[in-house]
A and B are shown apart, each in its own frame.
Chain A
Amino acid sequence: MLGNMDIEEMLKLLTPVIVLQFVLMIFCLVKLKNDKVKYLPKWTWALIIIIFNFVGPIVYLLLGRERD
């Protein structure tokens, strides 16, 4: 039971989520470099991907890319 967990332990628990966010961000930035984009310029998409955790990369994947 993790009832009396301190912040360090909780951060350890959060690590998978932080790693996932980082991987998703890098993946989207690499894709952005090679993709044709729509609605916004590439630099704006890059900012969206970096600033908005999780939501930014997904918004880019769903709305920002020209379909293959």
Chain B
Amino acid sequence: MTTFKAYFKKEFIEGIRQYKYIALATGIILFSILDPIMLKLLPTFVSNKIPANLIHKLFEFKTKDALANYIKDLFQIGTLFVIFTAAGSINEEVYSQKIVFPLTKGASKSQIVMAKFLHFLVAVCFFLFVGLFLNRYYANLLFEGQKIAISDTILVYFLLCIYYLFVISITLLFSSFTKKNISAGILACAASFSTALLSQFEKLKKFSPYNLILLTNSVDLQDAKIAMLITVFLTLIFLVTTISRFNNLKLN
């Protein structure tokens, strides 16, 4: 447990020193503010090119559209920020030989991986919470129609947190298999975005972690049950594989 605490603290300090929190905050929170404003401004931007009567039909956005737009950007861009923030956390320490000293002092490898995983999870969940509630505030402020309820925001938050469990675990897995953070990032992106591809097949859709993103529209936990279980199961497998890979890594 001492290793876990020490590494959790170390990751926190490194997050500040390496500007990881700035990256996460930008990737997750920024779009929560930008999206509702841009959506609101869109009719004004296109008003010269489209007849006025069509603008109202084409661009009649509701509060839930602002939330849906934010979640879409979160998946497309926010995920990239999360992946590239976490991508170097194992390989950089191994190949720059910074990990050798704590290990020779008897640090537990599995606790190091768990501390890194939980640190990223806590950070991402925190920024997601802030982002979703900011988005709710702006969406309710700028758009007409039924307001987004707090309970809906919490359910969306819950689904997104589970999805990011998967994203962080797969990023750490690739980080333990590659030498450079950019390769780990590219592989993790490919794996995460391929889950969206999997969702194109109706029969496979409910098993795909990406289904959690899709279900944020309906906000029904019953429908998300299978995807949640599969995602948690995959996360555990990836974590165990990462720990086992980390245990077998030859350190100079």
Contact = CB atoms under 8 A, between A and B. Distances in A.
Q: Do A and B bind each other?
A: yes
Given A58-B81, A63-B181, A68-B17, A2 B23 contact: no
A19 to B, nearest CB: 12
B44 interface: yes
A37 interface: no
Looking at chain B's contact residues, the main secondary structure is: helix
B13 to A, nearest CB: 12
Interface string A1-17: 11101010010011011
A16 B18 CA distance: 24
Interface in A16-68: 16-17, 20, 24, 39, 54-55, 57-59, 61-63, 67-68
A67 B181 CA distance: 12
B144 A14 contact: no
B23 A62 contact: yes
A14 B81 CA distance: 22
Which 7 A-B pairs have CB atoms at the shortest separation, nearest pair first?
A61-B19, A58-B23, A62-B84, A7-B44, A58-B26, A10-B41, A62-B23
7 contacts: A2-B142, A3-B144, A10-B44, A17-B34, A20-B30, A61-B22, A68-B18
Interface of A: 1-3, 5, 7, 10, 13-14, 16-17, 20, 24, 39, 54-55, 57-59, 61-63, 67-68
Given A58-B23, A59-B84, A62-B20, 4 more contacts: A3-B144, A5-B40, A16-B33, A58-B22
